[in-house]
Structure 1
């Protein structure tokens, strides 16, 4: 019997690709519209692979952000851009993030869980100030207590390290075997939470293919519209 649900933030509680696309169109107009999805995927890959270097202070946050933009374009055979343009992209992207909105189906899901008095929490990777700003923009404190929010930079751990899930279990006072983690990233969210003994829901609305994904016995959804029904069935 599940008792608690904990969410990722980026591309789980809102559509992260929308502000990314708008920033690309404004700052990097040479990118073909047909490449926007592929560029976004590469951007997320480089973010996930390299943010730990910021936590360990091997890289500065600015360097990591510039690298992920420059390298993502390079991956798709675009010319290498100047760091000044990468910095401009980051600034515009952050401004676009100020306008993010929660998907209506996510709102319905959170309302249902609050009505049922199901404890909720957040575990998200990223810079503390940057992620907390998104949390405020999405009004997540209307549903989730502030003490039930963990942002990786503030802990020294990041998903998929099981230690961040173990920290959440202790801080949120939950039983991992009776808890569900919901996230869009198979490595960070599914593998990480399962290794820590949690149940997992892979919110695969980007319809990514992962080899041997079924072996971890994670529930998989492919659209925001499926989320309320799935949560109602589980809780």
Structure 2
């Protein structure tokens, strides 16, 4: 298979909830915390997720700013979560809960459906980069555990570059590393604010992965897709053409 006269030379991907199923892992981590506290047993997991999700961005931004380590953020986030959920526990119990969350999160790590075959298919035609707002070691671990590490050419993290999406500078750093002009690149991500508007500001064509059925804020800014499979059809959309059979 080959893509005839492909103009796209590189495809950039977000990582969490684009290539790696962060939502699934976070749910497993939260379920592990729920099992530790009787006061949470009667609460629907979805209701607890609503409380927890409000805290994720707040504490993640502190990690990106260098104010907290990832482990410190997990502890602080769970402390606030348990407080909001009405649980009064010791600091030792909070630290134990953070470890339980982390272990369950990593044990549940998996690629988003279709991610592996799509990357395998795309590698025949383009270079592949991952652009992510996170610490490098954590994202390297996710790529390795999910079997994605051998399928990408470049990993760019906000920790390494010193700026985070949607800042165009992090996309520009990825393009330099890949040796690709912005006109020959595509960015795929699930976050409208970070991935889509960031890529748009950097002059890169954006494809919005909308797995959860959200309304599209502006179809003129990005091409929406709802899944990463079937890989041949998705690849054709990313490369802005049809894949044809070849020798």
Instruction: Give the aligned partner of residue 143 of structure 2.
Output: 135
Q: CA shift at 1:168, angstroms?
A: 1.1
CA distance in 1, matches of 2:199, 2:231: 19
Count of residue correspondences: 225
Aligned match of 1:22 in 3, 28, 35?
28
Instruction: Give the aligned partner of residue 34 of structure 1.
Output: 46
Find out whether 1:231 has 2:238 as its counterpart: no
Aligned match of 1:154 in 116, 139, 160?
160
Q: Retained in 1: the 8 A contact 2:128–2:152?
A: yes
Q: CA shift at 1:135, angstroms?
A: 1.3
Find out whether 1:219 has 2:223 as its counterpart: yes
Aligned match of 1:111 in 113, 117, 120?
120
The structure with more helix, counted as a fraction of residues: 1
Q: Give 3-state SS (helix, strand or coil) of 1:120's partner.
A: strand
Q: CA shift at 1:224, angstroms?
A: 4.2
Q: CA shift at 1:203, angstroms?
A: 0.9
If asked which structure has higher relative contact order (CA below 8 Å, sep 6+), I would say: 2
Relative to structure 1, the CA distance from residue 21 to residue 192 in structure 2 (aligned partners, 3 Å threshold; closer, same or farther) is same
Q: Give 3-state SS (helix, strand or coil) of 2:114's partner.
A: helix
Q: CA shift at 1:123, angstroms?
A: 0.8
Relative to structure 1, the CA distance from residue 184 to residue 84 in structure 2 (aligned partners, 3 Å threshold; closer, same or farther) is farther
- Let me know the Cα RMSD of the aligned residues: 2.6
Instruction: Give the aligned partner of residue 12 of structure 1.
Output: 18
Q: CA shift at 1:196, angstroms?
A: 0.9
User: 1:8-52 CA deviation, whole Å, 9 max, x = no partner?
Assistant: 111111221222222212212414133255346435xx33x4434
Q: Retained in 1: the 8 A contact 2:131–2:156?
A: yes
Relative to structure 1, the CA distance from residue 93 to residue 229 in structure 2 (aligned partners, 3 Å threshold; closer, same or farther) is farther
Aligned match of 1:121 in 129, 141, 159?
129
CA distance in 2, matches of 1:158, 1:42: 20
Q: Retained in 2: the 8 A contact 1:100–1:138?
A: yes
CA distance in 1, matches of 2:98, 2:151: 29
Instruction: Give the aligned partner of residue 57 of structure 1.
Output: 66
Find out whether 1:189 has 2:195 as its counterpart: yes
User: 1:43-76 CA deviation, whole Å, 9 max, x = no partner?
Assistant: 5xx33x44343344334444433343444566xx
Q: Retained in 2: the 8 A contact 1:200–1:219?
A: yes
User: Scaled by the length of structure 2, what TM-score is found?
Assistant: 0.78
Aligned match of 1:172 in 178, 199, 216?
178
Unpaired segments ≥5 residues, structure 2 = 1-6, 240-247
